[in-house]
Amino acid sequence: MKVELLHYAPKSPEGYIAMVMRRTRETSTIADIQKSLNAKKGWVETLVRLAKRKKHYGVFEHITYWFNIEQVSRVLTHQLVRHRLASYAQLSGRLSNIDDGYVIPPLNYVSNSKQREELRQFFETRFLAQFVDYKWLVKKGVKVEDARYLLPNGQYTCIMLTLNARSLMHIIKLRTASEAHWEIRELAGHLWNLVKPTAPTLFELIPDDI
């Protein structure tokens, strides 16, 4: 799995959230609000925590993050795109030939290591066979968009994700839970680790009801 934070805006997320918080409470100009925020040390962090404590989550929607996600399965992306308050651009199976990459489940719940390796090899054998059949169909003139019907859910795919901080926090909260599927739980962990440095106060703790 490869996850990249491509961009985020504004460049000072917590300062912007604090400014939005003040905007909802003051008639001062934005310039004066910014000046007052800069004048008082720790005021930005205080306002971000206040927004979380007061459940004023709408102010987080003014912050946007862009991610590139590669080497994940379609099992994962089928779950991810259920989060509708986000924008996605995924590799097209109609417009591109699919490579042989695939995700094999870790099977950690199988305690016998020999049996676990046997099962892993079975997954790999079946994956490779499906890719061979896929390429054979394409070589025979079957359109890529039809040949892909043979491919497994475990095939590699890549997807770009754009969403606001509130939606991101919601995904992180749901998908890092112990009952979440292992692959999307791994993705959520990567997302969280990538955004923490951009806004440490905002992402230090995800509210339960976000």
- In 3D, which of 2, 9, 4 has the Cα closest to residue 65? 9
User: How big is the chain, counted in residues?
Assistant: 210
DSSP 78: H
Distance CA 52, CA 85 (A): 20
Q: Is 148 a catalytic site residue?
A: no
Per the structure block, which two tokens stand in for 188?
Answer: 């959520």
Task: Specify the DSSP class assigned to residue 151.
Answer: S
Of 171, 179, 176, 169, the closest CA to residue 205 belongs to 169
Nearby residues of 57 by Cβ (< 8 Å), 6 or more positions away: 51, 166, 169, 207, 210
> The tokens of 121 are what?
């090899």
Give the H or E element holding residue 145.
Answer: helix 144-147
The conformation of residue 150, written as its DSSP 8-state character, comes to: G
Which one of 22, 74, 148, 175 is the catalytic residue? 175
- Please report which residue ranges of the chain form alpha helices under DSSP H: 13-23, 30-39, 43-53, 74-80, 113-139, 144-147, 165-175, 182-195, 200-203
Active-site amino acid positions: 175
